[in-house]
Structure 1
Amino acid sequence: MLRGSTGLIGVVNFITFLVSIPILAGGIWLSTRADNTDCVRFLQWPIIIIGVTILVVSLMGFAGACYRISWLLRLYLFVMFFVIVALVGFIIFAFSVTDRGNGQVIMNRGYYEYQLSDYSGWLKDRVSDPNYWTKISSCLHDAGVCRGMAQGMRDPVTGMRVPESSETFYQRHLTPIESGCCKPPTSCGFTYVNETYWANGAGSTVMSDADCSKWSNDQQQLCYQCDSCKAGVLASIRHSWRKVSVINVVVLIILVIVYVVGCAAFRNSRKIENDEPFGMGRMTKARPSRIQF
């Protein structure tokens, strides 16, 4: 029975090890998103840290079960409890800071536009901080998030790229970063020339949106200082975090079940260990003594 209990703990820890893989994968996926989390570096680290901790703790419990090291199993259960608490806290935090904000539908446009006023809370304050935004906008520029917008065809004679028509561009499905940072807001009424160059049209004489004056055709500036760009970053973060949070909820449920099973198996193994000396003692006393001549 003792072997069965420790074997069950080993199986449980192997499952925990497998559970750590999607968490790590989620953190690595966030870290490879060059359009947001590579520039907003505080986002992926909590997930990666939790994933690595679960992986290490599961290996700790697996070793304790294989070699029947009681103190290692106690440490495993103790640390796993705090890992579960940390994961619960992170899930609550992730959902709370991404509870608001959606793209706005624009008539005759295939893309959404984003307003900073649609967001609130800690994440908005963090991204909107002038010192922090300077780093984010510089990173977005260096990552070339707007270079991918350039499409169209090559002129067979000159070899130069011919931009796509305005009608074609208006029906494109842009990412939140592209929509917010690489073009001016539609409300400015600018005239389309190409994907990242817009003329000051007649409809832009009255600019109710402060971003209209922040837009620049300078390819080094574009709308990186616009509130719409900040909103686009927040929208991208929200989309990514929501995906990872759903995975984390599933992982949390599995971890709780695994932890409960592990606690029961450990308690059962300890009970058997405590009963063994008593049983062995009784068997020893029952043996007949040797007859002395």
Structure 2
Amino acid sequence: MAVSNNITACVTLMALICAVPVIASGVWFASAQGEECARLARWPVAILGGLILLAALAGFVGAYGNRRRLLAFYLFAMAALIALLIALLVFAFTVTRGSGAYPVLGREYDEYRLDGFSMWLRGYVDPARWEGIRSCLAVSDTCKKLARQAGYITADQLYQSRLTPLQSGCCKPLSVCGFGYVSPTVWTNLARPASDPDCGLWSNDPAQLCYECESCRAGLLAALRSQWHKANIALVVATVSLVFLYLIGCSAYKNAHAEAIYHRYKW
């Protein structure tokens, strides 16, 4: 192989490796439901990673076998896929920009408002979807685990703990309700005027708790948003690497094309 083709083969091989974290992120999104009882995305990221893998494989075969049509296909396909990956990242960062979290005086954990999230995310917990998510949360260990914690004997012990977004939003009433503490999932209503609609939705019934509260939906979105941000780290690294490798591949392809013309017409 010519030097330029060797470089292109190495570049496409590295692009194959870069496709792995994209696929892994997509598979994680599609399969890891966890305590959130919901998936923000199923297969789009994994499919995009698979297409990047196939394009890189075509480029490697083209470079190794000196097949310029395959190399041209690789460059064209990779440009389109990188553009899609960048668009996906921009979309993900845009719709997950708001956290919905707000601090509460005297609490180590945050509480969450639904209106702190983007319209797109809020649409994800509309009534049609929420019924199934709510049923899943009610039978999950999210709040049961909190109720079994032996370390929360007093309210202050709970207040100084770092609850997950779901535990904060679904397993206890909002702090503004002013309920009296009995245990993490059992509270007494002190008959204060309800300062938030969620206060009237709270129930000590383990099957109810605050699963109908907006704070619970907000806690779910906060958990999913955290998932996206973790996956975005891998996607950003993969995207930057792919762009860098693509530029090298373009240069190597151009040089290989020039070499081919030179050898064709030289005396």
TM-score normalised according to structure 1 size? 0.83
Whole-angstrom distance in 2 between the partners of 1:51 and 1:138? 33
State the match for 2:124 in structure 1. 126
What's the offset of the Cα at 1:175?
0.5
Q: Residues 134 and 88 (structure 1 numbering): CA distance in 2 closer, same or farther, change over 3 Å?
A: same
Whole-angstrom distance in 2 between the partners of 1:183 and 1:18? 45
State the match for 2:68 in structure 1. 70
Whole-angstrom distance in 1 between the partners of 2:2 and 2:145? 59
State the match for 2:209 in structure 1. 222
In the TM superposition, 1:54-133 aligns within 5 A as: 54-127=52-125, 129-133=126-130
Whole-angstrom distance in 2 between the partners of 1:172 and 1:275? 71
Whole-angstrom distance in 2 between the partners of 1:78 and 1:143? 47
What's the offset of the Cα at 1:254?
1.6
- Computing the radius of gyration from Cα coordinates, the structure with the larger value is 1
Could you tell me which runs of 5 or more consecutive residues in structure 2 were left unpaired when the two chains were aligned. Answer: none
Question: Is 1:150 the counterpart of 2:147 in the alignment?
Answer: yes
What's the offset of the Cα at 1:277?
2.9
Whole-angstrom distance in 2 between the partners of 1:229 and 1:195? 15
Whole-angstrom distance in 1 between the partners of 2:164 and 2:33? 12
Paired residue type of 2:197: A
Paired residue type of 2:11: V
What's the offset of the Cα at 1:32?
2.5
Superposed CA deviations along residues 126-171 of structure 1, whole A, max 9, x for unmatched, are 22x1101112222333443222213444xxxxxxxx9632221121
Question: Is 1:169 the counterpart of 2:166 in the alignment?
Answer: no
* TM superposition outliers: structure 1 runs of 4+ over 6 Å: none
SS at match of 2:173: coil
Whole-angstrom distance in 2 between the partners of 1:164 and 1:67? 70
SS at match of 2:182: strand
Paired residue type of 1:87: L
What's the offset of the Cα at 1:273?
2.1
State the match for 2:241 in structure 1. 254
Q: Residues 5 and 57 (structure 1 numbering): CA distance in 2 closer, same or farther, change over 3 Å?
A: same
CA contact (8 A) 1:34 1:143 kept: no
What's the offset of the Cα at 1:56?
2.2
State the match for 2:19 in structure 1. 20
Q: Residues 75 and 139 (structure 1 numbering): CA distance in 2 closer, same or farther, change over 3 Å?
A: farther
Paired residue type of 1:140: L
SS at match of 1:247: helix
Whole-angstrom distance in 1 between the partners of 2:118 and 2:240? 29
Question: Is 1:137 the counterpart of 2:134 in the alignment?
Answer: yes
Whole-angstrom distance in 1 between the partners of 2:73 and 2:9? 15
Superposed CA deviations along residues 81-126 of structure 1, whole A, max 9, x for unmatched, are 1111101111110111112124221122121111112223211122
Give the superposed CA RMSD.
Answer: 2.1
Percent identity (aligned): 38
CA contact (8 A) 1:151 1:164 kept: no
Work out the number of aligned pairs and report it: 266
What's the offset of the Cα at 1:29?
4.2
State the match for 2:7 in structure 1. 8
SS at match of 1:35: helix
Q: Residues 135 and 23 (structure 1 numbering): CA distance in 2 closer, same or farther, change over 3 Å?
A: same
CA contact (8 A) 2:33 2:39 kept: no
State the match for 2:34 in structure 1. 34
